[in-house]
Structure 1
Amino acid sequence: MTSALPIIVYPPDAEGGRRVRMDGEILGLAYSLRDVAEFLRRAGLEDADEVYVERSALIEWRGGGPDVWML
């Protein structure tokens, strides 16, 4: 992975979904680390998996870290 694009995971909504944005583009609404990883793979980060998503310094978690999925 060579991307240093800003990746933001927003706070969970009432249903537990978290909006994922990369380089200003909304990638989708994630309900788990697996969803975030899949959005990143589709955006070109082929090596993204759940461990990468949980530990990457490139991801800014807003409203709670990677273990927060409900308000």
Structure 2
Amino acid sequence: MAGSTPIVVYPPSPTGGRRVTVRGHILGLAHSDRDVVEFLRRAGLSDAEQLLDDPAWVTWRGGRAHHYEAA
């Protein structure tokens, strides 16, 4: 993935949850890893659970990875 990862999990919003995109397309607002995995499965990534901690696939922006509480 030259340059950037296809999956981006954005910083927690002021009300909680994190926006998730794949190649720039918004998949939804995740409130847990389970939500992220479901969004990715719906986008056609059947091995989504293994991708969450793979920096070649996922960039966690702002905040700590796997934390969804309000900023």
Fold shared by both chains (TM-score > 0.5): yes
In structure 1, the gaps of 5 or more residues are none
Give the C-alpha shift of residue 52 in structure 1: 3.4
Q: Hey, what does 2:46 align to over in structure 1?
A: 46
Aligned-pair Cα RMSD in Å: 1.8
Runs of at least 4 residues of structure 1 off by over 6 A?
A: none
Question: Using the alignment, how far apart are the partners of 2:10 and 2:34 within structure 1?
Answer: 16
Question: Sequence identity, in percent?
Answer: 54
Give the C-alpha shift of residue 65 in structure 1: 2.7
Q: Hey, what does 1:56 align to over in structure 2?
A: 54
Question: Taking CA–CA contacts closer than 8 Å with sequence separation of 6 or more, which of the two structures ends up with the larger relative contact order?
Answer: 2
Give the C-alpha shift of residue 24 in structure 1: 1.1
CA deviations 1:6-37 (Å, max 9, x no partner) are 11100111221100010110000000011001
Q: Hey, what does 2:66 align to over in structure 1?
A: 67
CA contact (8 A) 2:30 2:68 kept: no
* TM-score normalised per structure 2: 0.80
SS at match of 1:36: helix
Alignment size in residue pairs: 66
CA contact (8 A) 1:33 1:66 kept: no
Q: Hey, what does 1:11 align to over in structure 2?
A: 11
